[in-house]
Amino acid sequence: MTGLDKSDLEITRVRVYVVAPDVTPPYRFTGTEDHYTMHHNVVRLSTRGGIEGAAGADSGDPVDGKHAYAEAFRPIVGDVLGKSVLERDAVTAALLAKRSAPVPDPESLLDIAMWDAFARAAGLPLFRLLGGQRERIPVYASSPVYDTVEDYLDYCRLIQGLGYPAVKFHTQCHPAFDLEMTAAVSEAFGSSGLRFMVDLEQRYSFDDAVALGRALTDMPCDWLEAPLTDTDIDAYAELRRAVGVDVLAAGNTIVELGDMADAIERGAWSRLRCDPTNVGGIQVTMKAMALAEANGMKTELQSYGYPLSQAANLHVMLGVAGCTYFEQPVPIEHYEYACANPIRVEADGCVSAPDGPGLGLDLDWERIEADATLVIDTD
């Protein structure tokens, strides 16, 4: 932080933007739901010395309006003005202590933006400040929902051609179809080394989850994700005992460390699933990963989304040991909005952090401002 005084790192302005990127077609995560518009919620934080930090997360079209996610920032953005990014952990703790919402979305993004600004001021990639455990990590392609088994087979051919070593399927969530599809993938690609995961978005019954989980046990499947409602801890523990494949939660609902510890103690999950954009930020995620490690578990961070949320997760994965894969939506071109240097799969099936300090992203702020359907500004 050569040339910067402590006062230069005081937060002087926060802006929150909502954008519906035109590069992203209407989307769905299961065959049981309608397509919806994806929205990108972006935080831009400025300090007295001209250092900026950013964070972002995506959201769909909720019943209460497309701006509901961003509106949650309005009551709290003023609380960080005049605070220093050097005090980010204390600032985030104070925000989390007064929150009333069940999931700390705005607090999480403000925390990430403060970490980004701090690392930029230090002139270092964020993952270096978090521990720098590795330079690169294997990546899996996270699929759209398709209508036919052949569509899924074609998708596997596509992602193998792009260099991805693994794929996570968002499925029809119709048990008979899902079983047929995964069996076809296993037969067609099992000998090629392609690994896969199955994400059921909390849509299965217990009995159907057992049936699919037992079938997946004999396939090149790394895990079964979100078969049941995240909060049904006893059912998850029973499911784990009934199947041979690893079982993970969705990771969007249980966001308190105490609740994670309780679920782990009760044997609910094979691996912890969480995301710094909704558990309280960087430091909370690191504590969650330490909790998992203390119980002999890996953590699989949820990095689906636009470059800002991808990068925040990636820096944690590189900074702290414990994750197997980085998750990336494919076609990735649908999720590279307003970023000149997005994260891309490399020749050996891994990804690395963008060059540069902080999150390392080169964002087109003029485009974001021009496309925004809502701007919240403390200035």
State the pLDDT confidence band at 220, using cuts at 50, 70 and 90: very high
pLDDT per residue over 180-201, tens digit each? 999 999 999 999 999 999 999 9
State the pLDDT confidence band at 134, using cuts at 50, 70 and 90: very high
Q: Does 66 score more than 70 pLDDT?
A: yes
Indicate if 52 and 185 belong to the same structural domain.
no
Q: Are 102 and 291 in contact (CB under 8 A)?
A: no
Indicate if 154 and 140 belong to the same structural domain.
yes
Indicate if 161 and 261 belong to the same structural domain.
yes
Indicate if 62 and 150 belong to the same structural domain.
no
Which residues lie closer than 8 Å to 233 by C-beta, 6 or more apart? Answer: 262, 263, 266, 268
Q: Does 61 score more than 70 pLDDT?
A: no
Structural domain boundaries, residue 33: 6-123+364-377
Distances (CA, A) of 258 to 31, 46, 276, 288: 34, 33, 16, 10
* CATH code of the domain in which 53 resides: 3.30.390.10
Strand partners, 36: 27
Indicate if 297 and 160 belong to the same structural domain.
yes
Indicate if 76 and 97 belong to the same structural domain.
yes
Beta strands in the chain (DSSP E): 11-19, 39-47, 52-59, 136-142, 166-170, 195-199, 221-225, 246-248, 326-329, 350-352, 374-377
Q: Are 48 and 8 in contact (CB under 8 A)?
A: yes
Q: Does 62 score more than 80 pLDDT?
A: no
State the pLDDT confidence band at 64, using cuts at 50, 70 and 90: low
Q: In the predicted model, what is the mean pLDDT of the chain?
A: 96
What would the two tokens of residue 10 be? 């005081």
Q: Are 290 and 317 in contact (CB under 8 A)?
A: no
Q: What percent of the chain is predicted at pLDDT more than 90?
A: 95
Radius of gyration of the chain (CA): 20
For residue 242, the one-letter residue type is A
pLDDT per residue over 323-357, tens digit each? 999 999 999 999 999 999 999 999 999 999 999 99
- Number of domain units in the chain: 2
Q: Is 271 exposed, middle or buried (0-12, 13-18, 19+ CB in 10 A)?
A: buried
Indicate if 201 and 144 belong to the same structural domain.
yes
**Average pLDDT for 37-49:** 96
